[in-house]
């Protein structure tokens, strides 16, 4: 069963006792499972590990990378030319496409005033190999220190120049999922987080300085 508005206390025999307050409710878990649309197929240990421990995946050289979740430390050597922005629904953030009426539409929210989001594909080189890394939205903005809003006011060529100037030659630690691209058959990483190596060294340095000061 599931209890809401409950209060756990130690009773006079030293056991934990759960009492239900004025606004508390008890649901049989079967109803809860049904109403939530869950089928009762809970993920197994391997799946949980993949989902939750993936964030601590190992750093690997690009040469030995394979499909999965990894971290790489590499220098950006080039930026793949493209539009760098795409249109999204302001409510759910998913991609909005131009519908029959010529206006942007979201699958769930109908006609919307689309907002721009950023996407960038970079070539990353760690000395053992080169990997295509694609970053979307916040991750892309953070890596390139620009924003989709700023880019949308520029021409495609200006966007390319701005992004190249900002990332080429910079070293990053990038975490993400590596997949095989359907068309090219080559491996590609979709970044879910990244940090500039200089910035992380700087914060480590500051942390150790702070530790010394605090004793
Ligand atoms: Zn939407």
> pLDDT for 68-94, tens place per residue?
999 999 999 999 999 999 999 999 999
Give me the CATH number covering residue 189: 2.40.50.140
Task: Report how far ligand 1's centroid is from the alpha carbon of 112 (Å).
Answer: 8
Task: Report how far ligand 1's centroid is from the alpha carbon of 114 (Å).
Answer: 9
Task: Report how far ligand 1's centroid is from the alpha carbon of 111 (Å).
Answer: 9
Task: Report how far ligand 1's centroid is from the alpha carbon of 108 (Å).
Answer: 5
Task: Report how far ligand 1's centroid is from the alpha carbon of 98 (Å).
Answer: 13
Residue range 108-117: mean pLDDT, rounded: 94
Judgement on whether residues 19 and 73 belong to the same structural domain of the protein = no
Task: Report how far ligand 1's centroid is from the alpha carbon of 117 (Å).
Answer: 14
Task: Report how far ligand 1's centroid is from the alpha carbon of 190 (Å).
Answer: 22
| Distance, CA of 28 to CA of 184 (rounded, Å) | 51
Per the structure, the complete domain to which residue 17 belongs is given by: 2-35
**44 domain residue, yes or no:** no
**40 domain residue, yes or no:** no
Number of domains composing the chain:
2
**108 domain residue, yes or no:** no
Which pTM does this prediction carry? 0.66
Q: What is the predicted pLDDT for the residue at 101? A: 86
User: What dihedral angle (degrees, nearest 10) is formed by the CA atoms of 36, 39, 45, 50?
Assistant: -70
Task: Report how far ligand 1's centroid is from the alpha carbon of 85 (Å).
Answer: 17
Judgement on whether residues 138 and 168 belong to the same structural domain of the protein = yes
Retrieve residue 74's tokens. Answer: 């590499």
**47 domain residue, yes or no:** no
As a whole number of Å, the end-to-end CA separation of the chain is 49
Judgement on whether residues 30 and 117 belong to the same structural domain of the protein = no
Judgement on whether residues 73 and 140 belong to the same structural domain of the protein = yes
**93 domain residue, yes or no:** no
Judgement on whether residues 30 and 60 belong to the same structural domain of the protein = no
Please provide the average confidence, as pLDDT, over all residues in the chain. Answer: 83
Judgement on whether residues 138 and 81 belong to the same structural domain of the protein = yes
| Distance, CA of 49 to CA of 128 (rounded, Å) | 28
**160 domain residue, yes or no:** yes
Task: Report how far ligand 1's centroid is from the alpha carbon of 205 (Å).
Answer: 43
Q: Give phi and psi for 2, each to the nearest 5.
A: -120, 135
**20 domain residue, yes or no:** yes
């Amino acid at each position: 069963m599931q209890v809401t508005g409950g209060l756990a206390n130690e009773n006079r025999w030293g056991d934990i006792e759960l009492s239900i307050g004025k606004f508390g409710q008890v649901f049989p878990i079967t109803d809860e499972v049904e109403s939530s649309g869950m089928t009762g197929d809970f993920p197994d240990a391997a799946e949980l590990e993949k989902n939750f421990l993936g964030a601590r995946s190992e750093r690997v050289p690009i040469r030995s990378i394979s499909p999965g979740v990894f971290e790489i430390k590499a220098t950006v050597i080039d930026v793949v030319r493209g539009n760098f922005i795409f249109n999204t629904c302001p409510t759910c953030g998913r991609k909005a496409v131009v519908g029959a009426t010529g206006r942007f539409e979201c699958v769930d929210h109908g006609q919307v005033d689309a907002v721009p989001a950023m996407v960038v594909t970079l070539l990353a080189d760690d000395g053992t190999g080169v990997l295509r890394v694609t970053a979307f939205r916040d991750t892309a903005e953070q890596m390139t220190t620009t924003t989709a809003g700023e880019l949308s006011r520029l021409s495609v060529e200006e966007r390319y120049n701005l992004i190249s100037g900002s990332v080429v030659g910079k070293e990053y630690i990038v975490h993400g999922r590596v997949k095989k691209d359907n068309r090219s058959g080559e491996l590609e990483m979709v970044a879910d987080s990244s940090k500039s190596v200089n910035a992380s060294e700087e914060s480590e340095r500051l942390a150790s300085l702070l530790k010394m000061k605090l004793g």
